[in-house]
Amino acid sequence: MAAHLNDAPSRSGRRWLWWIPAGCLVLLLLLGAGAAGLAWLVDAALGEAEVYQEPLRRAQASAEVRALLGEPVEAGWLPQGRIEIDHQGRGDARLSIPLQGPRGEAVLEVRADLPEGADDWVYARMEVVPAGGGAPIDLRFEAR
């Protein structure tokens, strides 16, 4: 009599194979949720800064920008750039804020400095650059 060998893996032996793709999927979902959460925190932190809010207010109030993008003019998601303030109160900001409206999209480019001891940012650049090209709209001299 020959011994009967079962070459097929047992049911319990196959069960662990499902843990590999399931574990990878869970890991990818956690990493994606973490990245989305971090992006949301950065967006929220930048959105609270005066050097972000003032240019956005001016863009929304500008007749030229409203004519270009339509109404309402809104900030797009996830601005790019940096805001740095040192221990002496001097600051430097370089931001690119996406704008959108019913008629199109643009980018609000901001370059500003905060002199030591000052309360207000000094804007070297505050321009709305149309996405499809065209002349930038300078907002530095728009009413506050």
Is 13 in a helix, a strand, or coil? helix
Evaluate whether 62 touches 128 at the Cβ level (below 8 Å). Answer: yes
Q: Which residue has the tokens 């309402």?
A: 72
The pLDDT confidence band at residue 7, using thresholds 50, 70 and 90, is low
Annotate 117-142 with b (16+ C-beta within 10 A) or e (fewer): eeeebebeebbbebeeeeeebebeeb
pLDDT for the residue numbered 9:
58
pLDDT for the residue numbered 45:
62
Span 79-122, pLDDT tens digits? 889 989 888 889 999 999 999 999 999 999 999 999 988 888 99
Cβ within 8 Å of residue 24, ≥6 positions away: none
pLDDT for the residue numbered 111:
97
**Is 0.75 surpassed by the pTM of this model?**
no
Annotate 73-92 with b (16+ C-beta within 10 A) or e (fewer): bebeeebeeebeeeeeeebe
Domain ranges (residues) in the chain: 49-138
CATH number belonging to the domain at 49-138, selected among 3.10.450.320, 3.30.70.2860, 3.90.180.10, 3.30.565.10 = 3.10.450.320
The pLDDT confidence band at residue 138, using thresholds 50, 70 and 90, is very high
* CA–CA distance, 20 with 111 (Å, rounded to integer): 49
pLDDT for the residue numbered 71:
94
Cβ neighbour number for residue 23 with a 10 Å cutoff: 10
Span 15-49, pLDDT tens digits? 777 777 888 888 888 888 887 777 777 666 666 77
CA–CA distances in Å: residue 110 to residues 82, 121, 128: 10, 11, 9
Question: Which has the higher per-residue pLDDT, 12 or 99?
Answer: 99
pLDDT for the residue numbered 10:
60
Size (the chain), residues: 144
Residue 52 has pLDDT above 80, yes or no: yes
pLDDT for the residue numbered 38:
74
Query: Which of 78, 81, 74 is closest to 106 using CA atoms?
Result: 74
pLDDT for the residue numbered 4:
55
